[in-house]
């Protein structure tokens, strides 16, 4: 695998997707950005084209916690099951404009989830996410 980074944003808010995409492009125009309005759309894409999506190197998932189809926690679990057989370098961050302390407890107790990031996604957080992904 190469050192290329792909960032996948899953959020039911189109404005958050657009802002996230633009900010990532400003931080590093070489990062591949994929946007999904639902976990259902992401799961379908991973099942159909997972190898292609993951072949670029590190894949960072930025997932909204509160979505109508499924929670960010459920989506992390589902992605893990889809990717179980693949040799993929993936990192998960859960996003939300508001956070419940029980959600923070769930995030901290889930070894798959790197951390919680408050919305709106800022340049400082993006720089940290990208730097952390490159340091392995």
Per-residue pLDDT of 32-41, as tens digits, reads 999 999 999 9
Domain 4-134: CATH superfamily, name plus number: Response regulator (3.40.50.2300)
Domain edges within the chain: 4-134
CA angle 126, 4, 31 (to 5 degrees): 45
Q: Is residue 130 scored above 70 in pLDDT?
A: yes
CA angle 63, 92, 126 (to 5 degrees): 80
Does residue 51 have a pLDDT over 60?
Answer: yes
* Token duo for residue 76: 């992390």
pLDDT tens digits, 89-129: 899 999 999 888 999 999 999 999 999 999 988 999 999 99
Cα–Cα distance for residue pair 36/28, rounded to 1 Å: 20
Q: What's the rounded mean pLDDT across residues 130-136?
A: 79
Q: How confident is the model at residue 56 (pLDDT cuts 50, 70, 90)?
A: low
* pLDDT over 70 at 31, yes or no: yes
Q: Is the pLDDT of residue 62 over 80?
A: yes
Pairing of strands 89-96, 113-118: parallel
Distance CA 57, CA 5 (A): 6
| pLDDT at residue 4 greater than cutoff 90 | no
Collapsing DSSP to helix, strand or coil, 62 comes out as strand
Distance between CA 133 and CA 78 in Å, rounded? 22
CA dist., res. 40 & res. 46, Å (int): 10
């Amino acid at each position: 695998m190469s050192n290329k980074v792909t960032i996948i944003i899953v959020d039911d808010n189109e404005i958050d997707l657009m802002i996230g995409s633009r900010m990532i492009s400003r931080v590093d125009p070489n990062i591949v950005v994929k946007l999904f309005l639902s976990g259902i759309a992401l799961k379908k894409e991973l099942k159909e084209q997972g190898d292609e999506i993951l072949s670029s190197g590190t894949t960072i998932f930025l997932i909204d916690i509160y979505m109508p189809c499924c929670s960010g926690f459920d989506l992390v679990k589902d992605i893990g099951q889809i990717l179980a057989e693949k040799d993929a370098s993936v990192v998960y961050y859960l996003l939300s404009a508001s956070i419940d302390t029980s959600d923070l407890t769930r995030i901290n107790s889930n070894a798959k989830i790197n951390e919680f990031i408050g919305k709106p996604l800022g340049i400082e957080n993006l720089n940290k996410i990208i730097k952390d992904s490159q340091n392995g």
